[in-house]
Each structure stands twice: as structure tokens, then as C-alpha cells.
Amino acid sequence: MDLIARKQKPSSLQQYTRAAELAAAEVIGAYSTSFGWATKLVGKQIRVHIRNIYALVRVADEIVDGAADEALQGTQPGYTQHALDQLEAETYLAIESGFSTNLVVHAFAHTARLSGIKREIIEPFFTSMRMDIDNREYDQAGFDKYVYGSAEVVGLMCLEVYLMELDLTAHEKAEFVRGARALGAAFQKVNFLRDLAADFQKLGRSYFPGVNVASFNEEEKHRLVVDIQEDLKVSSSVLKKLPKSSRKAVAAAQMFFDELNRKIMATPAETLISERIRVSNGKKLVILIKAWIGVVP
């Protein structure tokens, strides 16, 4: 026997899973620099799982809004629906079996199996993506359903990762769920608000019930901003209770969207429907530093 113990060679499945996780990280890196920065604040043990979740979310989004539409250009009616259905079915099969030939799906399934992400919060996500294929306007019920599926459940998936090593009471878990849903809702509403014109002009969508881009005014903007502030207030009340491994990254996200919401509040309504509001890289860096040193909003 060797005097120096050799590292055990990873199994074929372990090696494949590692390759899948690297692929998921590449997907995230290609689409979101800010998200890449933020994930560096997450503890190393769970960082890979957050990337795995968001990589699947990104692929689904590209099916309904991005690369798939550009490639097809209307030449294959129904293909977008088929591709999304196929991705969803493959996701469930991978969670059940522990393997997928799709690297991003395999990475997500590995995280779901390890952290306990269930179909009950995956299915609403795909439902909301399916709504993007056909829906162009939403009533309040449709809007709430879409926000829950497209954003709140993504927060709940991440929450399963954040809390997977904790032994919580039902009340404690419910409090975290409330905060995660509120933060997810705030994220999505801020994105809708700053993309108001682009969503309508490019995609033909109007997400906010009763809001018409052509007649959008200060009163409507103020109402929407205040609603987002209330969501952020709820999420902030739970933030300090998160484990240290995830608290800094979530704090950075909270501060980023709060800053974006403040900028929207300070921007005239007529400007908001013609320009996309952004947070400068310098400000993003300040937010990341504040989160890194432990500032919790």
C-alpha cells in the first residue's frame, strides 16, 4: 500500500456531473456578468447549485424569448411549444433517474435531487414560460400566476439550496418562503417596469394589468414602484435570518434591485418608456463590497 494515500478516482457519473456543472457555469457566465459577480458571494459549497438552477432557467427563457425565436423566424409553428415541453419532460426524467444527455438539465437535476427541489415548484416555472408563447396581455390573476411561476418559484428553488442543511420548524420554513417569494416578485416587477417599452415594442407583451405604454404616467409609475418597495420590505425582514453561506449574495441582490427601483422612481414616466434604466458598474461594485463586508439592508 502506498504510504501517501491516493485520491480516489471519481466515478463516471461524478465526472459527468462535474462536466455538467462546468457547462452550467459557462451558460451563466455568457449571459450575466452581474449574476456571476453575485454568485461569488455565495458559499463555495452551494455556489455551484445556484448556477445549476439559473442555467436551466436561462435555457428555458431562450426557448421562448431568444435564440429559438431568432433561429426559427416563424418557419416552424408550434416548435417553441414542443421544445419547451421537451425540456420540461427531460427535467422530470433526469430528477427521477439521476441522468440526462442534456448537460444543463443534468446539472439542475443533480441539484434538485440533493436539495429536495420538487416538481410542485418546477411545474409553475414551465407554466409561466408557456404563457410567454401566447399571452400578450394579463389580467391580475394571470399576472400573479406569471410572476409566481417565472420568479417566485426560482427564489424558492434557491431557498431549498440555502436551507438544505438546516433543521427548521414549519413556522421557520414558512417565514423563509414568504421572504423568498417577495424578493422574487420584486425582481420580476422591477424588470417588467424597466423593460416596459421593449416588452411591448419587441415582444408585443404588456405584463402589468391595465397599464398601457402609450398612456403610462407618473401616477401609474408611482403605484408600481411602491408595490415593489413593499415586496422588498418583506424580503428584507427575513434576510438577516438566512445562513451566512447565502446571506451576502441575497443581500447584494436585494440592494441592487432596491437601487434600480429608486432610479426608476427618480426617472420621469415619459423617459421610462423610451430608455432602459440601469445601475452603473461602479454602483454595482459598491453594492457588492457592502454585501461582502456584511451590510444587510
pLDDT tens for residues 136-164? 778 899 999 999 999 999 999 999 999 99
Which of 247, 175, 190 has the alpha carbon at shortest distance from 221?
190
Name the residue with cell 411602491: 226
Is residue 68 pLDDT above 80, yes or no?
no
When the pLDDT of each residue in the chain is averaged and rounded to a whole number, the result is 89
pLDDT of residue 296: 86
pTM of structure: 0.90
Which of 182, 151, 176 has the alpha carbon at shortest distance from 163?
176
3-state secondary structure of 282: helix
Rounded to an integer, the average pLDDT of 215-241 is 94
Is residue 86 pLDDT above 60, yes or no?
yes
- For 166-216, write each residue's pLDDT tens digit: 899 999 999 999 999 999 999 999 988 888 877 666 665 668 888 887 788
DSSP 11-27: PHHHHHHHHHHHHHHHH
Name the residue with cell 428553488: 157
pLDDT band at 6 (very low <50, low <70, confident <90, very high): low
- Residues 205-241 as b/e (b if ≥16 CB within 10 A, e otherwise) read bbbbeebebeebeeebbeebbeebeebbeebbebbee
- For 256-296, write each residue's pLDDT tens digit: 999 999 999 999 998 888 888 888 889 988 998 999 998 88
Paired with 137 in beta bridges are 206
pLDDT of residue 203: 60
pLDDT band at 34 (very low <50, low <70, confident <90, very high): low
- Pull the grid cell for residue 231: 415586496
Cα 26 to its chain centre, rounded Å, is: 16
Percent of the chain with pLDDT over 90: 64
pLDDT of residue 5: 45
Is residue 1 pLDDT above 70, yes or no?
no
Paired with 206 in beta bridges are 137
Cβ-based burial of 255 (10 A; exposed 0-12, middle 13-18, buried ≥19) = buried
Rounded to an integer, the average pLDDT of 6-20 is 88
Q: Give the Cα separation of 297 and 294 in Å (integer).
A: 10
3-state secondary structure of 159: helix
Percent of the chain with pLDDT over 70: 92
pLDDT of residue 272: 85
Cα–Cα–Cα angle for 228, 234, 236, rounded to 5 degrees: 100
Name the residue with cell 440555502: 162
pLDDT of residue 3: 42
3-state secondary structure of 206: strand
Is residue 248 pLDDT above 70, yes or no?
yes
